[in-house]
Structure 1
C-alpha cells in the first residue's frame, strides 16, 4: 500500500511540474508574438511616415533598365528621364539595350537578376518573352516595373500610355481635317503590346468612317524610319496624282519621321501626316510650316521615365503598388503652336494643356529622399 502511495505521489508531482513548464512556455511565446507584432506595427508606421531611417535605406540603389530597343529621340528622352530621377534618389542606372532582339532582352533580364540589381525597369518587350524571367526576379525579391510590356505578373507594376486614347486622338483629328473621307496609308507593325492596342482603335475608326479607305499599310521595327521612308517613296510612285492620297496615320513617331521625309522630298505636301508619340525632333517637324506632319498624340517621354522610377522606388520602400498605371496622353497640333519661335518639349506645356512635369507616383518620402540627396 505504501509503495502504491509513493508511486501515485511521484506521478502527481511529475504532472504538476509539466503543467508549470507548459504555462511558462505559453507566456514566453505570447510575449514574443506581442513583441513581433509591435515591431511590425512600428516598422509599418515608420514606412508610412517616411522617417529618415526609412528614406536612408533607399539611397545608393543599383537599377537596371532593360530596353527592347533604344532608337530615336523618344527613347533618348525617356532614358534621360529615368537616369535623372534615379540620380535624384541617389542611385545609379545601367542601361541594357537589346537591339530589338527579344532573346537578347531575356538574356539581359537574366544578367540583371544574376548580378543582383536592387531593382529592374523594363521598356517594351512582351509577356510571352519576359514572364518567365520576371517571375524569377520576383522570386529573388527584386522589384520590377515595366513600361509598354503587356505583362500581368503578380507583384509587378505595368506602366503604359493609354494607347487606345493615343490612337483615337490622332485618328479623329485626321477624320476631321479630311472631312470624313479620303484614301489613307497606315504605318504600323504587329507584335508590340502598344501597337496591338492602337490597332483596336484603328479597326473601329474604319468602321466609323466608311468613306475613309485604307489603300496601303506597312511597318518594320528593325529600321523604322529608313524603312518607312523607302516604302512611302514606293507608294507615292504608285499613286502619283495629287489628291490620290489624303493622309498617313503613323502609329509610332519613328514611322512618322520616315514618311514625312518621303512626302516632303516628293513635293507632295498636300498629304498630311498624323502621328503618335512626341519628342523634341518630332515637335520641330510639326512646327515646320513646310512639313506634312501636322499633329500627334503623345505623353512626355521624360515624364514617363520619371513616373516609372517612382513606382520602382515605392516597391523598394516596401509599398504595395497598383498592378497597372496609365499615363494619359495629350494632343499636339500645329495650329496650337506659336509661329514666331521654335519649341522643345520642355516648354510645350505653355501651349498644350496637360503636357509637362507629372507628379504621378510621387510620395512625401520620395520628395524627402530627393531633398536629402540634393543637400
Structure 2
C-alpha cells in the first residue's frame, strides 16, 4: 500500500496529513508554544452525527489549547486497530478512541502499559485503567421506551432495529429487553439493522420487507438515528404514515430535517448534542493527559425531543435545538479552562 504525503503550508502554521486507501490520519493545531498532543482514533465519520461529534472535538481542542492527531478508519475495524498502534508510537498525552469494537483491546492495553491514558467514547474497552465517556445510553433508551409504552398504553406490535457488538447499541438493547419483559403487550415481531457506510438505506429496505411481512406493525423502535432515518423512509414509501410510528435515539441536523416534516412518522428521539459530547470527550482526554481526570466513567445526560417541539419552535439545526434544551450543553462535565 502506497502512502501519499501532502504538506500544506498555511499562514497560521503547518498541518499535515497522511492518507492511504483505508485510513486517514491528520494533525490539527497551530504552531507556537508546545501544546499537548491528543490522538483521536475514529472508527468512522460517515454520518452526520459523527461529523458533528468530531467538529465538537476540534472546536473544543482549539479552545483549550490541544493539538489533535486524527485517525479515521473509515469503518474498517482492522484499520482502527492499526491506528491505535500508530497513535501509541507517537507517545501523545492521551488517546481518545471513538466507537472502538472489541478487537481494539490488545492495542489499548499496549498504550496503557506505555503510560498513555486512553479515553473511550462509546467503545468496547474492558481494561479498568481506561476512562469511559458515554451518552448514558441506558437513559437514552429508557427515555424513548418510557414514552413508547405511555403512548401505546403498553400494547404495540414492534419492529426493532439493532446490531450487536456496538457498546452503545448493546447498552440500549438491555433496556429494550427489560421493557418487553415488563410489558407483555409489547410484541416484537422482527429485528432488523445493519451498520456500514449505507446504514440508513439498507435499514430502510429491511424495514420495508418486515412491514410487508407484518402488516399489523404499529411501531418501529430504532435506537440509533441512522436506523430511525431508514425506518422513517420505509414507512413513508409504503404509505403507512399515521399508522406506524418511529421512536428513535440520537440527533443531528439531518435528523432534525426528518423530524420536522409535517406528519413525520419519526415522532421523537432521545438524545444528547453530538458536538457537546465531542467537547466532553476531548476535555476528558486533555485532563487525563495532565493526570487530572479522576472520574473513570463520564456520563453525558440526555433529553427527550419530540417532532412536535421541533415543528412548533421551527428548529432546523442542533445549534438551534440547544437554545430550547439548554441541558444538552454540559460545560461543567470534565471542565477545562480556555487556553491563554
Q: TM-score range by the shorter chain?
A: 0.7 to 0.9
Report the secondary structure of 2:173's partner residue.
Answer: helix
Alignment-derived partner of residue 303 in structure 1 = 276
- Higher Rg of the two aligned structures: 1
Alignment-derived partner of residue 92 in structure 2 = 117
Alignment-derived partner of residue 173 in structure 1 = 147
Report the secondary structure of 2:312's partner residue.
Answer: coil
Say yes or no: does 1:344 pair with 2:326.
no
Alignment-derived partner of residue 189 in structure 1 = 163
Larger strand proportion, structure 1 or 2? 2
Residue 201 of structure 1 and its aligned partner are, at CA, apart by 0.7
Which aligned pairs between 1:201-240 and structure 2 lie closer than 5 A?
A: 201-222=175-196, 223-240=198-215
Q: 2:59 aligns with which of 63, 66, 84?
A: 84
Q: 1:322 aligns with which of 295, 300, 312?
A: 295
Larger helix proportion, structure 1 or 2? 1
> 1-side partners of 2:273 and 2:146: how far apart?
21
User: Are 2:158 and 2:217, in contact at CA under 8 Å, matched by a contact in 1?
Assistant: yes
Write out per-residue CA displacement over residues 334-364 of structure 1, whole angstroms, 9 at most, x where no aligned residue. Answer: 23334362331112133335223532110xx
Which aligned pairs between 1:8-157 and structure 2 lie closer than 5 A?
A: 59-126=34-101, 128-157=102-131
Residue 78 of structure 1 and its aligned partner are, at CA, apart by 0.3
Runs (5+) with no aligned partner, structure 1: 1-56
Alignment-derived partner of residue 16 in structure 2 = none
Say yes or no: does 1:358 pair with 2:331.
yes
Count residues in correspondence: 307
> 2-side partners of 1:59 and 1:275: how far apart?
43
Write out per-residue CA displacement over residues 261-304 of structure 1, whole angstroms, 9 at most, x where no aligned residue. Answer: 11112211121101011111112211212321010101111111
Q: CA RMSD in A?
A: 2.0
User: Are 1:253 and 1:277, in contact at CA under 8 Å, matched by a contact in 2?
Assistant: yes
Q: 1:250 aligns with which of 222, 234, 255?
A: 222
Write out per-residue CA displacement over residues 10-51 of structure 1, whole angstroms, 9 at most, x where no aligned residue. Answer: xxxxxxxxxxxxxxxxxxxxxxxxxxxxxxxxxxxxxxxxxx
Write out per-residue CA displacement over residues 208-260 of structure 1, whole angstroms, 9 at most, x where no aligned residue. Answer: 211111111111112311210111121233245xxx11110002101111111
> 1-side partners of 2:211 and 2:293: how far apart?
52
User: Are 2:100 and 2:120, in contact at CA under 8 Å, matched by a contact in 1?
Assistant: no
Runs (5+) with no aligned partner, structure 2: 1-31
User: Are 1:83 and 1:92, in contact at CA under 8 Å, matched by a contact in 2?
Assistant: no
Residue 320 of structure 1 and its aligned partner are, at CA, apart by 4.3
Report the secondary structure of 1:288's partner residue.
Answer: coil
Q: 1:335 aligns with which of 284, 308, 318?
A: 308
